[in-house]
Amino acid sequence: MPASLDAIYLDHRPSLLGRALRIVRDLQAAEDVIQESYLRAHRAAERGSIDNIGAFLHRTVQNLALDHLRRRKTQERFEVPPSDRFDPLQVASDTPSAEDRLLQRERLTSFRDALEALPERARRVWTLNRVEGWSYPRIAEHLGVSPGTVFNDMKLAMGHVFDAMARTERE
């Protein structure tokens, strides 16, 4: 019995492995499935005769592979995979590094210097629009100038600030 089971198993092994691999899509799991099918066939043969050992092995591989797939899907749904487990040493700090703080301070200084270098009205236009959220017509009415002047002042301010910030990034 075991000798014929061994010979049949070895003869069918490539097709058993292929069937398991198509279902579980993992070589190690497929190997485990076909080994388990051999053990089950061996136990069944000890209890009585199996009419068609090859068919028994194939059916057992298919059932075990489907069981494995169901178990894996359930585990994926309810368990955290090892790579996603919490590792306190791998948590990024919310606190910026000293280098990041220094870079941000330099950018802020450049930004303030660029705003301070603007003509007074252009700086007011920028502040009312970007900080206060005012529209161009409202700013124009408030400052007593035309909306076109507000547009030109805003264009001047934005260009000046962008140029200053670009110079800071290049340095």
- pLDDT tens by residue, 89-133: 666 677 878 888 888 898 899 989 999 999 999 999 999 999 999
Query: Which pTM was predicted?
Result: 0.47
Residue 163 has, within 13 A of its CA and on its CB side, a CA count of 10
Domain that holds residue 18: 2-80
Express each pLDDT in 40-92 by its tens digit.
999 998 888 888 999 999 999 999 999 999 998 888 887 766 655 666 666 66
10 and 76 both lie in a single domain: yes
* C-alpha–C-alpha distance, residues 142 and 161, integer Å: 23
**75: Cβ–Cβ under 8 A, 6 or more apart, which residues?**
none
Task: Give the pair of three-digit tokens for residue 168.
Answer: 């800071």
Task: Give the pair of three-digit tokens for residue 1.
Answer: 């019995």
User: Of 80, 111, 142, at which residue does a domain stop?
Assistant: 80
12 and 72 both lie in a single domain: yes
* Start-to-end C-alpha separation, the chain: 81
